Amino acid sequence: HYLQMNKSTLEHFSDLYMYDSSVYDEKGRPPKKTLHLIEIPIHIMDTYLFSPFYKNFTIEQAKEYTKKMLNKAKKNKRPLVFDLHPHHYCDCFPRHKQYIDWLYSYITKNKIERYKVNEIINIHDKKP
């Protein structure tokens, strides 16, 4: 994802990339075609969950929020996109690390289907 986005960013990206995930969207909107680019919005980002400048959730609040978003995505038959930063998976970010461990366990235990980006693009490209 590109944090310095402006009106012309996607226009420039559309000639270079197949997809972009710069847009943060808590409503769970689906991927959409923008110019020649598929915009795959980020729905849950570790930084937004735990930063004091955003949600500043406890671990339990983050779990409940995630379950709610997963259920909504399943009901609407849409992908739910996570942005989990690898450098947060360490003891210096205990909530992040605990959340990531919980998330992988929860997804595995509940047999939640996972997609790779190219699969989302292929599904989207096949739509009329």
pLDDT tens, position by position, 32-47: 777 777 888 888 999 9
Ranges of each domain in the chain = 9-126
Contact 2/22 with Cβ under 8 angstroms? yes
pLDDT tens, position by position, 6-24: 667 767 676 766 776 777 7
pLDDT tens, position by position, 91-128: 999 999 999 999 999 999 999 988 888 887 777 766 65
DSSP characters for 48-75?
HHH-TTTT---HHHHHHHHHHHHHHHHH
Which has more confidence, 27 or 90?
90
User: Could you say which DSSP state residue 91 is in?
Assistant: T
Q: How far is CA 28 from CA 19, 39, 41, 59, 99, in A?
A: 17, 13, 8, 21, 20
Please report how the helices 59-76 and 94-109 are oriented relative to each other, as an axis angle in degrees rounded to 10.
Answer: 40
pLDDT at 37: 76
pTM of the model: 0.80
Cα end-to-end distance, the chain, whole Å: 27
